[in-house]
Structure 1
């Protein structure tokens, strides 16, 4: 397949490189020092599943430079979603199917608001990967799972084609008939992991070992489950407890991209994580005091490290 990957960070860089290694024609859209490093030496991925390196010719600086494309993977930070959707709509790939592997529960709604409903596949990924330095992505564990699903019946056949392409590349991929529920399931976990590792400024091992921070982890997830159920998503009442048990199985050193961005002084996706839970809870009349506290604590860092620190 001819695949365009918008965003060559941990998620886009890893999955794009894995798909390229399987013989697909992959083109990354990147920027800044990362773009220049890929142009010089290709994108390097360090992974426990094997080292990967893409061609230096596999990257462009903008969506407008893309040629004919069979699939667009969107892997940018959430604040760039609207801009990417607008650029896709006015580009040469305006009719290509789109699969977002971003965080959050609103990203597909944003894309579907600017592209056609049948054009957008629902998707979610489970992976720990980040940019180690310009041109280099570090994949932290063997986990590299993707779940996708169609929002409209007309997308189902193409979804199966994408599934086959991912599996042929050695990616753990599957489909779901209720992709919205799967996206919310990941969101519950992600909000909990992000909120606690960022506010405590420690990996999950420290968070889950302390009685009070463990309770915070549970409560943040429980509030997110309540918001999901109020939104009409079918999640079990005990889902937060199940996710807390799942957190006990994670490597103690595991952290979140929100924590990494906070430590590095980068802009945060907080308004789409705990902040997004608070906003939706307010509209639905559901209490979310723990997520509100997290949002308030991290508010000074949303746009990056505050001036003077």
Structure 2
């Protein structure tokens, strides 16, 4: 199977390292800048706890045209880069190439479809805590890593099964989701609260959950996202809000979402596809979303990065 990873950031690098180490597929990586140079010079390293491994990367480039058509594209970029990254995928597409997104939010399949066409767009989400430690080095926090995907309509196909087999053979957990929309909205309804409150509040999750005012707002942010999902026909578990709150209690007190770090660093934010999506999709569905709409309004001035 020929696979292209767009791009070799944290999530893409994690998958690339496992796939290349397995050595049974033709893997090409898209990277740029210092990351591209480091991978070319030193290979790709994945560190988990006290262990790490490095794989040589035979094909890493900033020009997808040098790769040519592949069987599947692992699409793992920030939502802020979706449009430009989808455009550069065109040389990678054969008639039946699947583009499988592992991104935050619930609109990736639609966004990819609008650029590359319905035939290529799939749906997916992942649960893995990874960061770029330095160019060419990915660091994983904890041991978990779970990847769920399907065709955009929720079905499974020969091409999604082929990608699943490739991931499983490489030691990556990739179960068949019963309902990909439930999986997407389950993650999303938690993430919008975590990302919105830790960013807008410049706070850790410990500070948020230990304060009666902010903890209530956090709960309301989850409830609004869940209400929007149900209004759209997504059958989330009846106890999903309590599940999210119970999980929140287990998080390290110092934890913040990546959006909070991006805000602090002056980088573009994914707020349009997080709190903004709850607000926008809620309006379409006739669901009021005052908390998420407010978080969106607070963060929107910083959506394109630091203002001069």
Instruction: Tell me the TM-score normalized by structure 1.
Output: 0.91
Aligned pairs for 1:191-210 (under 5 A) are 191-210=192-211
Deviation sequence 1:181-232 (CA, Å, 0-9, x none): 2111111111111112212323323322222222121111111111111112
Report if aligned partners of 2:80, 2:268 keep a CA contact under 8 Å in 1: no
Aligned to 1:5: 5
Q: Is the 8 A contact 1:7 1:29 kept in 2?
A: yes
**Cα offset, 1:289, TM superposition:** 0.9
* Deviations, residues 54-89 of structure 1 (Å, cap 9, x unaligned): 325431103222234222100011132233333333
Cα distance, 1:34 vs. partner? 1.8
**How do residues 79-98 of structure 1 correspond to structure 2 at under 5 angstroms?**
79-89=80-90, 91-95=91-95, 96-98=97-99
1:292 aligns with 2:293: yes
The equivalent residue for 1:19 is: 19
User: In the alignment, what sits opposite 1:31?
Assistant: 32
1:187 aligns with 2:210: no
Counterpart position of 1:222:
223
SS of the counterpart of 1:305? coil
Cα distance in 2 for partners of 1:88, 1:48 equals: 34
What is the RMSD of the two structures over their aligned residues, measured on CA atoms?
2.1
d(CA) in 2 for partners of 1:151, 1:266: 30
SS in structure 2 at match of 1:205: helix
* Kept in 2: contact 1:149–1:177 (CA 8 A): no
5+ residue gaps, structure 1: none
Q: SS of 1:122's equivalent?
A: strand
Contact map agreement 1:30 1:59 (CA 8 A) in 2:
yes
Alignment of 1:1-309 (within 5 A): 1-23=1-23, 24-48=25-49, 50-89=51-90, 91-95=91-95, 96-151=97-152, 155-307=156-308
Aligned-partner SS, 1:72: strand
Instruction: Please state how far the C-alpha of 1:153 moved relative to its aligned partner.
Output: 8.5
Q: TM-score, normalised by structure 2?
A: 0.91
2 CA distance for matches of 1:27 and 1:99?
15
Q: Deviations over 1:116-150 (max 9, x none)?
A: 54533321100111222222222111121111223
CA apart distance, 1:179 = 0.7
Answer whether contact 2:80 2:269 (CA < 8 A) is retained. no
Describe the SS at the equivalent of 1:140: strand
Q: Aligned with 1:184: secondary structure?
A: helix
Q: Secondary structure at the match of 2:3?
A: strand
How far apart, in 2, do the equivalents of 1:205 and 1:17 lie? 33
Judged with a 3 Å threshold, the aligned counterparts in structure 2 of structure 1 residues 224 and 86 are, in CA distance, closer, same or farther, namely: same
1:70-115 Cα offsets, whole Å, 9 max, x none, are 22100011132233333333x1434322211111111111223344
**CA distance in 1 between partners of 2:290 and 2:154 (Å):** 39
Number of residue pairs matched by the alignment:
306
